[in-house]
Amino acid sequence: MRPLLRSMLLLSASLLAFSCYASRQVIDQLGRDVTIPDRVDRVVVLQHQTLNLLVQLDATKTMVGILSNWKQQLGENYQRLVPELTSLPTLGDLTHVDVEKLVALRPQVVFVTNYAPQEMIDQIQKLGIAVIAISLRADDKQQHRLNPQLDNEEQAYNEGLKQGIRLIGEVVNHQRQAEELIEATFSQRQQTAERLKAIPTSQRIRVYMANPDLTTYGSGKYTGLMMAHAGASNVAAATVKGYKQVSMEQILAWDPQAIFVQDRYPQVINEINEQTAWQALDAVKHHRVYLMPEYAKAWGYPMPEALALGELWMAKKLYPEKFRDIDMQKKADEWYQRFYRTHYTGSN
């Protein structure tokens, strides 16, 4: 018997067994009604944000397969937090899936990103497997877009993250953990805002997010909100929509006062320090180029620790005199013990 046929027969048997149990309806972040088993304990995750959230919801054991480039997306150090991920099968990424491997894993649910191709979603659903799309964005106009133009970015990402966490928690029956994660995520923001409220817009530090190949985040992405909550002004916001490559000439024209580089892209720090063109920037001249700690996930989509810890860390870097009493190592360790069940050993 051919391997794919054998796997499909196994999947059919499993789905028949699942059908003996009660089912329920959930609405994913594309607004789709999806029927899932009452108890879900076998999921495949083809989106790194959802993978990260499942770990923080203490639902790692529900994962039976994950996206192939998870180390690149989450950073090499992520496997230190969740060693068991290294032994899980990998079978695709944000925009494609290996159907034969998927069938063999017999999942009840597959998590995908909101901009996963429709043909990919249809392909999975034809196998009788539920597909849940996660956007971490609350808007009903541009659900499928990677680079949206949002009327209210703050509301879209705040509510979208809450909705996404609750949805993922509901699917894997970890509702209590989801509510605890939401509360911890948003409680710190107000404290940071209080310390920065006296800084007028005209005096906010101009900041640039340096990614590989001169790519950066402009408007319509969470990264801009992260900067705003840290008391900064994103130099790319007015001219860049979403995530795009820019020219060195444009960066020189912006002349940011501070540059941040994500933990997952340490090679960018070396490029900035070694390449001649960067040396003309105010940020480089004054040694304000910072490699962000792993908890400061300055992604296009928000993550809980980015809101709770990353925004505070960035504010402390930009305005150290206002945050002298804040011990970031202690705060990070408390978060990691609570939601990753291990100590934080990274840098600040």
For every residue of 227-246, which 3-state class applies, written as one string? HHHCCEEECCCCCCECEEEC
Count of H helices and E strands in the chain? 16, 12
| HSE-CB of 67 using CA atoms within 13 angstroms | 23
Of residues 232, 173, 180, the one with CA closest to residue 208: 232
Round to whole Å and give the CA distance between 134 and 281: 38
Examine residue 89 and state whether it is found in any structural domain, yes or no. yes
Residue that finishes a domain, picked among 187, 205, 224: 187
Tell me, yes or no, whether 246 and 193 share the same domain: yes
The amino acid occupying position 151 is D
Same domain for 16 and 160? yes
Give, as one character, the DSSP assignment of residue 90.
B
CATH code at position 275: 3.40.50.1980
Domain boundary among 162, 187, 212: 187
Q: In the beta sheet, which residues pair with residue 224?
A: none
Contact 319, 231 (CB under 8 A): yes
CB atoms within 10 A of CB 151: 9
60 domain-assigned: yes
Last residue of a domain, one of 187, 209, 237: 187
212 lies in the same domain as 71: no
Q: E strand or H helix at 288, and its extent?
A: none
User: Which residues are 110's β-sheet partners?
Assistant: 44, 131
Identify whether the C-beta of residue 49 lies closer than 8 Å to the C-beta of residue 318. no
For the chain, give the longest Cα–Cα distance.
71
- Are 165 and 302 part of one and the same domain? no
Same domain, 76 and 176: yes
The answer on 287 and 216 residing in a single domain is yes
Q: Is residue 220 part of a domain?
A: yes
Q: How far apart are CA 239 and CA 219, in angstroms?
A: 8
Range of the domain at 101: 3-187
Q: 146 and 53, same structural domain?
A: yes
Both 180 and 215 in one domain: the answer is no
Q: Is 144 in the same domain as 260?
A: no
Question: Do residues 124 and 102 lie in contact, with contact meaning Cβ atoms separated by under 8 Å?
Answer: yes
* Domain-embedded: residue 277: yes
Query: For residue 342, what pLDDT is reported?
Result: 95
Q: Note whether 68 and 142 are same-domain residues.
A: yes
Residue 346 included in any domain: no
Q: Do 208 and 103 have their domain in common?
A: no
Nearest to 91 by CA among 112, 75, 76: 112
Q: Does residue 79 sit within a domain?
A: yes
Rg (CA), the chain: 21
Query: How many C-alpha atoms does 145 have within 13 Å on its Cβ side?
Result: 14
pTM for this predicted structure: 0.86
Burial class (CB in 10 A: 0-12, 13-18, 19+), 16: exposed
> How is 175-225 classified by DSSP, letter by letter?
HHHHHHHHHHHHHTHHHHHHHHTTS-GGGSEEEEE--GGGEEE-BTSHHHH
In this predicted structure, what is the pLDDT of residue 299?
85
CA quadruple 281, 219, 50, 94: dihedral, nearest 10 = -90
* For helices 153-171 and 48-56, angle between their N-to-C axes, nearest 10 degrees: 60
Looking at residue 17, its pLDDT comes to 43
Distance CA 74, CA 52 (A): 8
Domain identity same for 199 and 176: no
Determine, yes or no, domain membership for 149: yes
| pLDDT per residue of the chain (348 residues) written in tens, 0 to 9 | 455 555 554 555 455 444 556 899 999 999 999 999 999 999 999 999 999 999 999 999 999 999 999 999 998 889 999 999 999 999 999 999 999 999 999 999 999 999 999 999 999 999 999 999 999 988 756 566 666 667 788 899 999 999 999 999 999 999 999 999 999 999 888 888 899 999 998 999 999 999 999 999 998 888 999 999 999 999 999 999 989 999 999 999 999 999 999 988 999 999 999 999 999 999 999 999 999 999 999 887 899 999 999 999 999 999 999 999 999 999 999 999 999 999 998 888
d(CA 36, CA 24): 6
Query: How distant is the alpha carbon of residue 41 from its chain centre?
Result: 22
- Give how many domains the chain has, as a whole number: 2
Residue 344 in any domain: the answer is no
DSSP state of 294: T
